[in-house]
Amino acid sequence: MTPIDPVARPRRNVELVLLVLALAVGIGAQALVGVDRQKAFDSDFWFQSGLLALAALAFHVVLRIRAKYADPVILPLVVALNGLGLAMIHRLDRVGEDTGNNQLRWTLVAMAVAIAVIWFLKDHRILRRFTYISLAVSAVLLILPLVPGISAGEVLGASVWIKIGSMTFQPGEIAKITLAIFFAGYLSSNRDLILLAGRKVGPVQFPRFKDMGPMITAWLVSIGVLVFQRDLGTSILFFGLFLVMIYVATSRISWVIIGLVLMVVGGFVAAQVFSHVALRIDGWVNAFTPEVYGREFGGSLQIVEGLFGMANGGLVGTGLGQGRPNLVPFANSDMIIASFGEELGLIGVFAIVLMYLLLFTRGFRAALGTRDAFGKLLATGLSFAIALQCFVVIGGVTRLIPLTGLTTPFLAAGGSSLLANWIIVGLLLMISHTARGPVDTTPLPPGQEPGAGRKFPATPSKPAPDPRTNPDAPTEAVKQL
Amino acid sequence: MNQAIRNSWIAAIAMFVLIFGALSYVQVVGADELKANAWNRRAILQNYCNDRGAIIVGGTPVAESVPGSESCKFQRTYSQPELYAGITGYFSKNYGLTGLEKSMNDVLAGSSDQQFLDRVGQLFLGNQPKGASVELTLDPKIQKLAYDLIPDGQRGSIVVTNPKTGAVLAMVSKPSYDPNLIATQDAAAEQANYNKLNAVPGINLNQNVSGPTGALLAPGSVFKLVDTAAALGSGKYNKDSVLPNPAEMSFPGIDYKLPNYAGGNCYTRTTASFAFALQQSCNTPFASIAQDLGQKAIAEQAGKFGFGQDFGDQLKLDSAPSFFPTEPLDAAGLAQSSIGQRDVRATPLQINTMTAAIANDGVQMQPNLIKAVRAPDLRAISEPKPQPLRTATSPEVARQINEWMVSVVDDGIASRAAVPGVQVAGKTGTAELGNGLNNSWFTGFAPANDPQVAVTIVMEGVDITTGANLTSPNAKKIFEAVLNK
């Protein structure tokens, strides 16, 4: 990645131009879908497109006011992805179904929440104060789907849904964010300690056993999600999120090694003990054997149909509305990438994956540019989570890895996922604002930043760092790395 | 810290490189294989309403595409559905393709390599795409006769082939079904019909689980032909060998005793010649051969007849391989297996190709259903030639068994298969199912000195009398019909 431009430029006009382009992509796709259904440019189309455009422009204006140095590429990328998703979901709606409009409603809600986050939070560093509250919230969010009365029960083999009135919601999606905040807060406060102690085995320094606490916690959370919610994808996502954050916090590859070993051990045991994991793996390895293909639960029909669709799309695709993506179960949610692969071809789906690549790359740039350890960790964690989620979903759909039930960010039908991912975008935009903005040497108003007004560089000799220690001051140990 | 962030980014990029690779593989590199997969309905849906080539038997189309509705220009129909269902299979929008509809799909749909120029022509002239027709070796008269020889409600199969060419003259089984029910455009009816048919045991919806090429049945005494071939092939026995023929055989360590068939004449002698043992279908002589030669020798001879193998490329139907146990058997197990009981299983077509190999001096021909593939202008795109499949026995061994099989019809228990004026060779089999009922077999060929036709009949789950009435006498009728006697 190229170094950060030292001169701060807002680039909001660039964003506006890109945003118009992004809206053209999304709304253009919507129009094509309409043409195919013989109701192009009807009032519904204008109403929906207008709402999306308005929301995007409102977001843009808020950025001009509150975060004018925010990365100008992130918002257009996300609007384009969201718009494409809306078009495809509309296109996949069978007669009488209304997933498309539902998705539009959720898009507007999610954008509004993201705007509110930017407007009211003002600075991402404030979140550091909520380190342990985030942990508590994560725990509650993860336990909710298992609480009788609130739980929506087991849906398609996984207990990840809750019921609020007639609506269902997946709290695990939000837990992704609160866990990232907790990890970022905890690790930015305690990294020195974790860094310094340890045993050296060859070139690799291994941490002390008692510093493994957070790692064990993260591992237990992931295993808990796997065991109690039966959700392999989210489990992998949480653990990957934690691994990358502890790696960035310590720059120690040993953590990754330990983490991967734990993951492999956990995965292996899970595959032996839990039928749902074993079924996933069986459906992956033996996807093309009749018994697995025909199995009613946990069979490979979904993945095989998806592969057929994508193969049918080939290089250039059948064209929007010309393929048969509806032959694939969950064509508008888990398998939406297969729908795009079929109708837009390899070229179209490459473009979509490239948009994700650009999106998480901009997130990593924000992580590089921002000057506080908390922000660096949070931005890296969230960006990596987007990348990992894409990998797990698209890898599953293409049979690179076993298929797990994760959503494709911004594309797939599903309100919880949209909401969570838009909040992530809001946070990344805010972090990128501090990263790209002029270096602000004036301290925040008292009380706004943890430890503000107190200036004490953490020293390596400090046995237990105060959680309020200013994380921005690099320690000797960090400098040596 | 920044270096670690850059490394994490590289890890994320690496994951995306894998994704790009996987997408390219699925959508371009491996796409053809996925498109050709039998479960892939997209290919069917794409040319579902095209003018697909016909499947023709004796000049009459038994499967053809007729002009359909506005939304779907051509509809697949089967004119004698039950009679040919096991051969044609079905062409279904939602359940895919089976039978010849599946294996000959390329030429029927007009997408085979040989039809490339035709497609270019259709493109320029703006004609409807039209597939090639497939002409079968089946004789409609024999096919109908064989089908009617299995009573309704009776499970059974009949296979009639030419042993010298492998051409299949008739291949039928019951229960059969109407493929039109599954080729319908009414998706709800299609599903209901499929589920209904799929629930009927023994129905030949998929050739590799039931019917002549898929039903794996205990062959009973028909398997004694394998023992005989193994014995003669080993060099330890010859046509004059005297075989032990005790009324029952006991085995060390267990209570079980293998008896001779109680109703026949086996009990009259304590030793037997091959001719006598085959004529009366005595059990103990063959069990003692198996014990003498060992399991491996019997298994090898079974393999030479095609057990555990496929039928070659010309059949164009899915099939299940027959088998003789390969895991070591105890003495009693080997004895029972050597008379076609216990763990031995064979498809009706396997028994027929085995018989045909004996008829054809030990050379087994590939069973062949396809006479010719013709383009819409009647030009032959391909005309398969008879192909040897494998050598089952030496010519001498085959001729010796031929001679003994003639005596089974002339002087033995298959006498009801005899056709006046023609030398008929045959062997019967009665495999006990353990519930008082049997699988009743006849397999044979005629004329023995110049074999033109090999007939295999099996009736599943019948009592002794019904089995006897439905096998050898029916074989006689088929021999007469084919040989015009």
Residue of A nearest to B2 (CA): A368
Tens of pLDDT, residues A339-386: 999 999 999 999 999 999 999 999 999 999 998 999 999 999 999 999
DSSP annotation of A296 reads S
* Residue B343: both structure tokens together: 């763990």
Count of structural domains, chain B? 1
Is residue B155 assigned to a domain? no
On the question of pLDDT at A395 being above 80, the answer is yes
Is residue B120 assigned to a domain? no
Q: Look at B162 and A262; give whichever has higher pLDDT.
A: B162
Measuring CA to CA, which residue among B386, B334, B313, B438 is closest to residue B161? B386
Tell me the pLDDT of chain A averaged across its residues: 83
Tens of pLDDT, residues B273-331: 888 888 888 888 999 899 889 899 999 999 999 999 999 888 888 888 999 988 888 88
Our CA-based measurement puts residue B334 at a distance from the nearest CA of chain A, in whole angstroms, of 32
Amino acid letter for position B146:
A
Asked if residue B210 lies in contact with residue B345, where contact means CB atoms within 8 angstroms, the answer is: no
Backbone angles phi, psi at B348, to 5 degrees: -55, -40
For residues A307-331, give the mean pLDDT. 85
Extended strands (E) in A135-285: 162-164, 167-169, 199-201, 204-206
Is residue B337 assigned to a domain? yes
Is residue B92 assigned to a domain? no
Asked if residue B400 lies in contact with residue B168, where contact means CB atoms within 8 angstroms, the answer is: no
Asked if residue B164 lies in contact with residue B357, where contact means CB atoms within 8 angstroms, the answer is: no
Is residue A366 assigned to a domain? yes
Is residue B283 assigned to a domain? yes
What is the span of the domain harbouring residue A354? Answer: 124-437+457-480
Tens of pLDDT, residues A170-190: 888 899 999 999 999 988 888
Our CA-based measurement puts residue A152 at a distance from the nearest CA of chain B, in whole angstroms, of 31
Question: CA-to-CA distance for A155 and A162, rounded, in angstroms?
Answer: 10
Q: How many CB pairs under 8 A join A and B?
A: 135
Longest dimension (CA), chain A: 73
B chain contacts of residue A251, beta-carbon cutoff 8 Å: 1, 3-4
Question: CA-to-CA distance for A10 and A67, rounded, in angstroms?
Answer: 9
Look up the CATH number of the domain holding residue B339. Answer: 3.40.710.10
Is residue B473 assigned to a domain? yes
* Residue B166: both structure tokens together: 């492998």
* The Cα angle at residue A448 between residues A446 and A449, in degrees rounded to 5: 95
Is residue A108 assigned to a domain? no
Question: CA-to-CA distance for A400 and A402, rounded, in angstroms?
Answer: 7
Residue of A nearest to B43 (CA): A312
B chain contacts of residue A356, beta-carbon cutoff 8 Å: 16
Is residue B185 assigned to a domain? no
Q: Give the lowest-confidence range in A123-132, A432-441, B41-50, B434-443.
A: B41-50
Is residue A115 assigned to a domain? no
pLDDT under 50: residue ranges of chain B: none
At A434, which helix (H) or strand (E)?
Answer: helix A415-436
Question: CA-to-CA distance for B239 and B216, rounded, in angstroms?
Answer: 32
Contact B9/A361, CB-based, under 8 Å?
A: yes
B221 is catalytic: yes
Task: Give B225's contacts (C-beta < 8 A, 6+ positions apart).
Answer: B354, B355, B358, B401, B405, B427
On the question of pLDDT at A94 being above 60, the answer is yes
How far, in whole angstroms, is CA B75 from its chain's centroid?
29
Residue with tokens 């090999």: B454
Amino acid letter for position B344:
V
On the question of pLDDT at A82 being above 90, the answer is yes
Asked if residue A245 lies in contact with residue A388, where contact means CB atoms within 8 angstroms, the answer is: no
Is the link from the previous residue into B447 a cis peptide, with omega within 30 of 0?
Answer: yes
Q: Look at B258 and A133; give whichever has higher pLDDT.
A: A133
On the question of pLDDT at A467 being above 60, the answer is no
Question: CA-to-CA distance for B85 and B335, rounded, in angstroms?
Answer: 38
Is residue B271 assigned to a domain? yes
Q: Give the lowest-confidence range in A105-109, A280-284, A313-317, A447-451.
A: A447-451
Task: Give A273's contacts (C-beta < 8 A, 6+ positions apart).
Answer: none
Count of structural domains, chain A? 1
A chain contacts of residue B6, beta-carbon cutoff 8 Å: 1, 364, 368
Tens of pLDDT, residues A27-73: 999 888 887 766 767 778 888 899 999 999 999 999 999 998 999 99
* Residue A11: both structure tokens together: 């680039």
B chain contacts of residue A375, beta-carbon cutoff 8 Å: none
Our CA-based measurement puts residue B40 at a distance from the nearest CA of chain A, in whole angstroms, of 6
Q: What is the ipTM of this complex?
A: 0.88
Question: CA-to-CA distance for A376 and B83, rounded, in angstroms?
Answer: 74
What is the span of the domain harbouring residue B427? Answer: 220-364+388-483
Question: CA-to-CA distance for A407 and A254, rounded, in angstroms?
Answer: 31
Question: CA-to-CA distance for B288 and B272, rounded, in angstroms?
Answer: 12
Our CA-based measurement puts residue B131 at a distance from the nearest CA of chain A, in whole angstroms, of 21
On the question of pLDDT at A108 being above 60, the answer is yes
Alpha-carbon Rg of chain A, whole angstroms?
23
> Which residues 259-288 of A are in CB contact (within 8 Å) with B?
288
Give the SS3 label for residue A411. Answer: coil
Asked if residue B90 lies in contact with residue B197, where contact means CB atoms within 8 angstroms, the answer is: no
**What are the percentages of helix, strand and coil residues in chain B, rounded to 5?**
40, 20, 40
Contact B27/A391, CB-based, under 8 Å?
A: no
Exactly one of B112, B133, B157, B221 is catalytic; name it.
B221
Residues of chain B whose beta carbon is less than 8 angstroms from a beta carbon of chain A are 1-9, 11-13, 15-16, 18-28, 30-35, 37, 39-42, 45
Question: How many CA atoms does the CB half-sphere of B3 hold within 13 Å?
Answer: 8
